[in-house]
């Protein structure tokens, strides 16, 4: 009975504690084994840091550029009650189909909010879904089962590292995950389409292949229009030529997939055509895709882009693109060919990236469906080289360690920069960042088999530091915040009354439109001619128009860091 009770005897100094009961010791064994596993500890640390890294101060900064378009179109759908016809400033908006606006509007109504945090929240949700999809796909095709023979290709960490590399690459973790744009959701759908084609094709389930691929392409089309069809066509051609079964492209199963696409996309556009017609819409869809190519930029810029594009891509998705050095080993191609899944990733990467390689006006966020393909190949090569301990692995891991030390030094920068002096809890925040990073550097040196997992956690720490110090500091330097500040001040003076755009004063300034629409609850519309109502407020470009007026407030706009006036017409 003594082992079940705490008892201290001063004479013998015997301490009995129920902690040491046999059943409690048995209960602690799984916990001890769990904590003794470095990989488990690192994943636990990453999991605890993930949501704070992605969500802290997410809505602090004003909307930027295309974020305003997404939010504005969704709010106008809500105000007008018309879910079929997207509008921007009350006029037909042709550039993008409505699916993302529907999703954003549903979130507005679910939360009762349409502020900056909610506008950006879908990006985080879709990013986490995307990362999970990458994990399950890579795990399924690369991680050997317990019954796999000894000769099987073993990449035990690829399923973990590939999604983590995607999540923590510089462009996503420190930029795109902070913006409310379509690209993350669209890329997730298209990546899934690539993997459906491969997984169902390898099982020779061609009906499921075409049905799944065309269904995902239809969803992608309703997100971003023609690019979805371009990627579908390239991926299907790539796969069936690769497996030497191109005749399947002329099968009934393929016709069935097309029917699914037509049923999904056609249903929406049949409703749209009843309200607005299709002739203008189809022309603008084509222009949106063509304007980024040599058609819109000329051959000279296109040729230059062909040379610079690979280097720009490697730069934007650092640090994990450092693994690209393995591509220069003489056995790299043989290693890629040794695994069909890796071969597919490499092949579909090379073919689907060609439209962007040939397009001058390409933003890194357009490539988010190709980045997991690239990282799958590169991390596979890293694991293969690590198995044999090549000198190149030591060089790469040394470079990552230098980056860890650089992150540690960066943790102390807020103590010496006057702009950060007023940050609340400055010293506790710096202490957390520095101690956490120093501990992770120790883990990096000690746990050689898990160094890349350690590095991914270091990058999450870096994002938290960015959220704490850099993001609040940007309020005073980013012009978007000046746009928000002056627009909200103007609506206060207006008493949240509706405001009309005087002729072509506003041009294309969706961020300004978003804040006016959000605060007034009314769609901003243009008035080009006729009698101007003296009781209404107008937004006027006073450098372009000279009609007599009384200025109520001044608002800043992004175009050339300019300014407009909220006026009453005399």
For 471, the token pair is 């993001």
Report the mean per-residue pLDDT for the chain: 88
Q: 488-539: per-residue pLDDT in tens?
A: 999 999 987 889 999 988 888 899 999 999 999 999 999 887 778 888 999 9
Residue with tokens 């959000």: 518
Q: How far apart are CA 411 and CA 461, in angstroms?
A: 10
Taking the CB of residue 378, how many other CB atoms lie within 10 A of it? 23
Which ranges of 59-115 would DSSP assign to H, the alpha helix? 66-80, 99-111
Question: Is 171 a residue whose pLDDT tops 90?
Answer: yes
CA-based nearest residue to 105, from 79, 139, 67:
79
Binned at pLDDT 50, 70 and 90, residue 288 comes out as low
Contact in structure between 202 and 214 (CB atoms under 8 Å): no
Does pTM surpass 0.85? yes
**Residue 193: per-residue pLDDT:** 98
Q: Is the pLDDT of residue 259 over 90?
A: yes
The span from the CA of 464 to the CA of 433, in Å, is 8
- Say if CB 240 and CB 195 are below 8 A apart: no
Classify burial at 455, counting beta carbons within 10 Å of its beta carbon; exposed 0-12, middle 13-18, buried 19 or more. Answer: buried
* Angstrom distance (rounded) from CA 348 to CA 353: 8
Sign of CA dihedral 250, 253, 254, 258: positive
> Please, which pLDDT band fits residue 95 given cuts at 50, 70 and 90?
confident
Rounded Cα distance, 207 and 323, in Å: 37
Average pLDDT over residues 217-241: 96
Tell me the per-residue pLDDT of 59-81, one tens digit each, with 9 for 90 and over: 999 999 899 999 999 999 999 99
| Helix extents (H) in 317-390 | 332-337, 340-352, 354-357, 371-388
């Amino acid at each position: 009975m003594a082992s079940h009770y705490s008892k201290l005897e001063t004479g013998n100094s015997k301490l009995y504690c129920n902690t040491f009961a046999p059943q409690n010791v048995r209960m602690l064994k799984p916990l001890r084994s769990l904590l003794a596993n470095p990989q488990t500890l690192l994943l636990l640390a990453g999991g605890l840091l993930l949501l704070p890294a992605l969500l802290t101060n997410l809505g602090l900064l004003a909307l930027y550029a295309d974020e305003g378009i997404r939010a504005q179109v969704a709010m106008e759908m809500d105000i007008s009650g018309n879910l079929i016809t997207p509008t921007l400033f009350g006029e037909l908006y042709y550039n993008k189909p409505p699916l993302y606006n529907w999703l954003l509007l549903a979130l507005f109504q679910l939360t009762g909010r349409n502020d900056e945090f909610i506008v950006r929240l879908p990006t985080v949700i879709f990013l986490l879904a995307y990362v999970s999809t990458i994990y399950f796909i890579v795990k399924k095709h690369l991680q050997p089962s317990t019954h796999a023979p000894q000769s099987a290709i073993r990449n035990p960490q690829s399923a973990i590292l590939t999604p983590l590399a995607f999540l923590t690459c510089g462009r996503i973790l420190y930029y795109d995950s902070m913006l409310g744009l379509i690209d993350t959701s669209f890329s997730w759908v298209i990546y899934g389409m690539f993997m459906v084609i491969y997984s169902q094709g390898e099982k020779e389930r061609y009906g499921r292949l075409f049905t799944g691929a065309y269904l995902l392409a239809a969803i992608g089309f309703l997100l971003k229009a023609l690019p979805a069809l371009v990627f579908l066509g390239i991926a299907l051609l790539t796969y069936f030529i690769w497996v030497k079964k191109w005749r399947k492209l002329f099968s009934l199963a393929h016709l069935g997939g097309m029917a699914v696409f037509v049923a999904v996309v056609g249903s929406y556009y049949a409703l749209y055509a009843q309200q607005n017609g299709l002739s203008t819409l189809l022309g603008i869809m084509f222009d949106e895709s063509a304007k980024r190519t040599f058609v819109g930029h000329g051959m000279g810029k296109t040729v230059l882009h062909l040379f610079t594009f690979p280097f720009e891509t490697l730069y934007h998705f650092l640090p994990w693109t450092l693994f690209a050095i393995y591509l220069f080993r003489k056995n790299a191609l043989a290693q890629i060919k040794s695994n069909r899944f890796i071969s597919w990733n490499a092949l579909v990467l090379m073919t689907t990236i060609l439209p962007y390689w040939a397009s001058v006006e390409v933003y890194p966020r357009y490539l988010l469906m190709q980045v997991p393909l690239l990282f799958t190949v590169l991390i596979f090569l890293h694991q293969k080289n690590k198995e044999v301990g090549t000198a190149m692995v030591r060089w790469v891991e040394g470079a990552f360690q230098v980056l860890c030390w650089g992150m540690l030094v960066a943790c102390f920068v807020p103590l010496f920069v006057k702009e950060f002096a007023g940050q609340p809890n400055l010293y506790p925040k710096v202490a957390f960042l520095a101690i956490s990073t120093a501990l992770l550097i120790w883990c990096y040196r000690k746990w050689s088999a898990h160094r890349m997992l350690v590095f991914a956690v270091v990058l999450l720490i870096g994002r938290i530091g960015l959220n704490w110090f850099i993001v609040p500091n940007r309020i005073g330097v980013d012009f978007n915040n000046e746009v928000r500040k002056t627009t909200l001040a103007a609506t206060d003076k207006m008493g949240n009354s509706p405001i009309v755009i005087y002729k072509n004063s506003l041009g294309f300034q969706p961020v300004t439109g978003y804040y006016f629409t959000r605060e007034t609850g009314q769609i901003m519309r243009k008035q080009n001619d006729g009698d101007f109502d003296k009781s209404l407020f107008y937004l006027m470009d006073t450098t372009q128009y000279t009609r007599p007026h009384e200025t109520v407030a001044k608002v800043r706009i992004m175009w050339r860091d300019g300014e407009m006036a909220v006026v009453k017409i005399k």
